[in-house]
Each structure stands twice: as C-alpha cells, then as structure tokens.
Amino acid sequence: MLYKKPYFTWLKIFITITLILGICFRFINIDRKVYWYDETITSLRIAGYTRGELEDITDEADIINGKFFQQYQGTNPNKNVINTINSLATENPEHLPIYFVLLRWWVKLFGHSVAVTRSFSALTSLLVFPCIYLLCRELFNQPLVGEIAIALTAVSPISVLYAQEARVYSLFTVTILLSSIALLRAMKIPTKRNWQIYTISLIFALYTHLFSILVAFGHGIYILLIEKLKLTKKLKAYLLASVSGFIIFYPGL
C-alpha cells in the first residue's frame, strides 16, 4: 500500500516526533497556570459542597486564608459521592456526574494538589490518540490517515489547553470518539453485541456531557442518510439502541 513506500518514512518520523511533543505539552508546567474560577468549582463539586454551603461556612469563620479554602478543594471525610452528585443537581444540573465522580476517586487516591487534579484530564486526553486512530480506521481503512489525525490532535492548541484543565472536555472528547467508533463498528458488523456496545458508549457519553445529545442526533442523521431513509434492519437496530440509551439517561435530565 501507499503508506509502506520508503518515501513515507520521513512522514512517520515526523508524526512520531509530533506525538511525543504533544504528550509533553500536556504535562509540562501543568501546575503553573492559574487555577481559574471554573476549576475551583470543579474542586468544590468533588469535595461535595455547594457554593451556598461554602458561603455559610465562610460567614461563620474567624480567619479566611488559602489554607482555609484548601479543605474545600479536595475530598472530605464528611462528604461522599452522593454529596457530589447532589451538589451538581442543586447548582449545576447542566453538568453530568461521571467526570466529577471519576475525578473524586482520582483525587482521593492521589491527593488534591493542582497537578494531581489536572493530571486526570491530561491522562484522559492521551486516550484520544488511540480513539481517533480507530475512528479513522473505521472510516477510511488507511492507517496513515489515522496516524496523521493523531499528529494533528497531538499539537492542536485547544486539545492541549483542555488537557491541562480540571474540566470535563478531555473526557467528553473521548466519549464522542468511542460512541462514534462503536456506531461504525455496529454498522459494519451488525451483531447484537456490537449494538449493545454502542448503547453503553452512548449512555457513558450522555452522562459525561449534555452536548452528547447533539452527537447522538448526528449519529441518527448519518444512519438515515446511509440507509436512504428506509426502515432497514440496521436502522431498526440503531433506533432500539439509541432509544434504550436515552431511556437510561432520562433520570439524569
């Protein structure tokens, strides 16, 4: 095939170097940037507190300094996962719980420093590379296309930016790619198991970020066009999988 020819060696070397740089960019100075407002809210959520509770506590406190606030930026023995979910439901119902629950466990294991909290997003962002490669293989069946996609993603400024923030976007990217891969695989090999995998990936995406609903509708439009608006077996299987996913997601709304 074309990508195996000798004159593509330089391109593979360039892609490898770009990937290494992209990985380094995601971890270099990860704790040096300002821990901005949205990230502090993330820490407050994983601690299981609402802003209202924190305001009541600060009103009663005699001394308020950096050390005082640090106890509300990580896990707290008096709060659990349910408190984290309740704080989201109370003040930020548009934010879904999976990222915050996973990050809470991460911080509980490794500490609540800025580097540790942000490193969850950085490590999650590395999963984008194999996912985007697999997506390109499903779409184009050309390894070189996937390798170029990895290189572009590795040095994408917005990807690097979100990889160093204690926010949901890196995990959201992974869930989008996984659900899309699962859909293409189910379309290619329409077994019951593959459609079940798509359903699970869709549920995971929906409980990660609300915008996954738009991705799911995009999947539906894609299937309709591929099947030429006919109620084929594949379209029926997709409808069953997506409806099942949304039914399970409904309590999260």
CA distance 213 to 218: 9
Return the residue matching tokens 């990222």.
99
Residue 21 inside a domain? The answer is no
Element (H, E) at 166: none
Let me know: does 45 contact 100? Beta carbons within 8 Å.
Answer: yes
pLDDT, position 1: 47
Q: Which domain holds residue 81?
A: 37-112
Does residue 124 lie within any of the structural domains?
no
Q: How many Å apart are CA 181 and CA 149, to the nearest integer?
A: 15
Angle of the 37-47 helix axis to the 98-110 helix axis, nearest 10: 80
Which amino acid makes up residue 207?
Y
Domain limit, last residue, from 97, 112, 127: 112
Dihedral over alpha carbons 85, 91, 94, 96 (to 10 degrees): -10
Q: Tens of pLDDT along 105-125? A: 999 999 889 999 999 999 999
Question: Three-class SS of residue 24?
Answer: helix
Question: Which pLDDT tens digit goes with each residue over 176-210?
Answer: 999 999 999 999 999 999 999 999 999 999 999 99
The answer as to whether 157 is a domain residue is no
Q: How many domains does the chain have?
A: 2
In tens, the pLDDT along 135-153 reads 999 999 888 899 999 999 9
Residue 31 in any domain: the answer is no
| Residue found by looking up tokens 């999947």 in the block | 219
In a domain, 44, yes or no: yes
126 residue type, one letter: L
Is residue 80, in this structure, part of any structural domain at all? yes
Q: List the structure tokens of 74.
A: 């990580």
Per-residue pLDDT tens over the stretch 46-87: 999 888 887 777 766 666 666 666 667 777 778 899 999 999
